Amino acid sequence: MKQMRQEHHLTIFICEDIEEHSTRVVDMCEYLSQDYDIEWESFPSAESLKLRLEQLQNNGERFPNLILMDVELPGMDGITFGKQLRCIQMFFWSL
């Protein structure tokens, strides 16, 4: 039985430097978007994701509902970026 499309929009950001892994996650998002309102963007590095989040912030747009991030990334690793992101989110929650 096919589920009805959800009323809520879900945005997922995927940060993965290995294309094969990123493709698998995107394939899952595409499959789920058949039944749910899901939008996703994929990023090859924490730096590129950070730039996109800063762009959202500067334009007053909403942050994604979910960020899936690899732990081992070139440049800034996922754990370091996650800590920075948590600080950013705590700041916004306090406003």
* Per-residue pLDDT band at 90 (split at 50, 70, 90): very low
Percent of the chain with pLDDT over 70: 83
Return d(Cα 16, Cα 70) in angstroms, integer.
Answer: 5
How far CA 13 is from CA of 10, 45, 63, 69, 95, in Å, comes to: 10, 12, 9, 8, 24
Using alpha carbons, select from 82, 10, 80, 5 the residue that is nearest to residue 36.
Answer: 5
Give pLDDT, residue 72: 83
Q: Report the predicted TM-score, pTM, of the whole model to 2 decimal places.
A: 0.75
